Structure 1
Amino acid sequence: MFWTCVCPYEKLSRRSTTIVSQSSTYQPFTASRANDGILSTTSDSCSHTGFKAAIAWFQVDLGKQFHLSNVKIHYRKDGNRSSDDWKQYRSRQFYLDVSNISATHSLTTQRTRCYTDNTTYPDLPPNIIDIPCQQKARYVIVETTYDAAQDTPHAIYGAILEICEIEVFVCDSTHYGSTCSLECSANCLNHTCNNETGLCTYGCREGFYGEQCEIGCDNCPSGCDIMTGQCIGDCPASKFGKFCHKTCSQDCKNGCNKYTGSCYDGCVPGKFGDFCNETCDVQYAYCCDKRSLNMKLLQDSTSENKIILIGVIVILCISVAVNGCTITWILRHKACKPRTVPQQETKTDSQTNNLAAQQRIYETTDDNAEYQELGHVSRTSLYDQLQRPQN
């Protein structure tokens, strides 16, 4: 039932923050004698509670909760030969509890029991006991209600504890597990992990991630986040994804987007789509974009085609400029002719009108002459008519 392990441990009880106390003291055997690093089990190296108590307890306050591994108790034993030497009589039927409430404020029902000794008279338990106690707690409490029969001849009564040294262990920072036999991952920063779960305490060293830093981020050129494993910085040209573990389409030109995998600079001839995973009909050098139903020119990545395209654009620009100048000259030439012709037509019309006017004058003169002749005739006839009655 009892065991000794050479696995690496840390002795919490020897930390400067640890406080030891006992229910009462038989002077000068104070509680501090049980936490001084001296492993002797003779009386002068041990703590000692007072007499005539119904319950005696010894407590180790670790200051905060820890994942405990084991507790080792060194009980008083004076000498090994003489029958008169004092043995570990008073250690019968003690029990070991752990709790997050101190012994002065807790009942045994509020604690976690790690061990109970069931030795009865006249047998004796071992005076050095190493007890496994894989619990999370702040207080370690040794307690007894046993009244040793060997005290009766000396008129000594009550429950008594005589602890010479108590050692409370947790795994050291580089080991974990119930027996501290498991070593923290070498990829843990400072080689340090939780002594119960093995999770890396301070994260991972560069190039690794995971709860125990067991996963390498080899695909990340600039390393990865030690908690999530996501790559920091860009992926290699042919990779994408949070972990740079996905491969870009081989039909992409100049790689793909780190996050989405969409092609940066379009597709190789014959392919289209964000991921260049759709095939074009290259017979007519045009490609139908199935998402927009528009026709688009199949892109050609060669420099020769680019030069040809630039040349065509330049020629078109020159042609447009020349045609524009020609059209402008023609329009201006036509606009100038109408200003001369009307002047000539006006002059001709004026001459025609003058001739017509003169002709009318001549005709009028002739008409007047006729009128004058008629007048002379008329006036003579009238005179003749007036002269007739006189005759």
Structure 2
Amino acid sequence: MAGVGVLGVVVLVGWIQLTSGTGTNVAQNKPAWMSSVFWSSPPASAAVDGVILAHEFNYSVVTNTRQQSAWWKVDLQTQVQSARVTLYFSTFYKKRRNGVQLYTSITNSADPKEGNLCHSVTERADGTDIPDVLSVTCHGTWRYLTVYTETDNDGYGAVLQLVEVQVWICASGYYGSNCDQSCAARHCKSDSNCDVIGGLCDGGCAAGYQGTDCTQACTSVMYGPNCANNCSSRHCKTPSSTCDRVTGQCPGGCEDGWTEIDCSKTCTSVMYGPNCTSNCSSRHCKTPSSTCDRVTGQCTDGCEDGWTETDCSGKCKPGTYGRDCSRCGHCDVTCNYGDGRCPGECLDGFTGDRCDVDVRVSPVTTGVIGGAIGIAVMLLISGLMIWLLKSGRLKWIPTTTTDPQELRKTDTPNTGEMPTHAPDVKDQDYTELNEFTREKEQSLYNVIQNENNQI
């Protein structure tokens, strides 16, 4: 009996746990009846009176012996959905546990097996491996519960011996075996009914959560609805094996050719580049096209004049023009970026439509011209001096010191004729002067010729 007492305590603890949540036993004190009643058994209603003293024979309902079948039924007087059934067996006659079946139905029928078979107890015939308390969930919508047997385990025919039958439903907004889980605490993808047993979300879990009731957060390497996406499978510009469990966001953006917050979707045929933000039709290709390489957007035939880069999206910088962005000529304003023409005037020393023709005199030419002019001036002065000397308008004064009085004595009288040479200048002096002048002229002439030949 001591062992029986312990069992009664264990059963009571289980009952306290069930009632500690927010569930309701809708079978308690509801109408019940049975196929037959053993002479010492209380009526069928004793199995729904709330007393679960399994070790007391007086609280056990028992059907007659020597029967082909036996059943016990309760009317919940309301429809339930996926309710949990808790059946307390008597600790006496354990052999009578094997073969017990549970049926649920919407209507009350004379056939005890009407409706849906919820559960069958099929263990050893002596019942030693069958627990004292059976707890199962009977799915679907139903109102009547029938406990049925047609198994003879001890030679007395099919006999039922029960202590208590409970049907638990959770209060609105709760679920679980103890009805202590809040439906509002789930993370369903969309509005969902709350399964009273497992809290199942009909449409699956919201991003960042998983599990039957969507209450388990994703690990650091998974993300998205039902945690079905792997962080390493994204196409982030900066790869990472971990990510935000809800969005999987790539903080640094996507690789070229990919888009979406988690960089999991390729660009369409008309878009390209990082995050697919560039439109193929916006390029300045030499041969326009509305589709392009989703990664680079490359213009296969090159760019229009005035544009550059692989996708011809870069306009030539000010001061450049054309397909290769060549430097503009020497314009007073920036040239046309397409053909390089100068809309204004050319700077001094340049000409042409693009102001790229240099008409300035080079330093070498300037030096030659300057030298030629200098030589010409020297020749002119030398010639003038010779003419003045020959004409007598310029006197040759020797370098020797002579008394001015002596010079006056030797002056040639003025006869009105032009002297052939200056006084005191010998013919030999004139001959040497003429030779010097000719050599000087010849030397200057050769210099001019040589410089002209070099030019």
Tell me the TM-score range normalised by the shorter chain. 0.3 to 0.5
Question: Bigger relative contact order, structure 1 or 2, given CA contacts below 8 A and separation 6+?
Answer: 1
Q: Structure 2 length normalisation: TM-score?
A: 0.34
TM-score between the two structures when normalised by the length of structure 1: 0.40
Which structure is higher in helix share?
Answer: 1
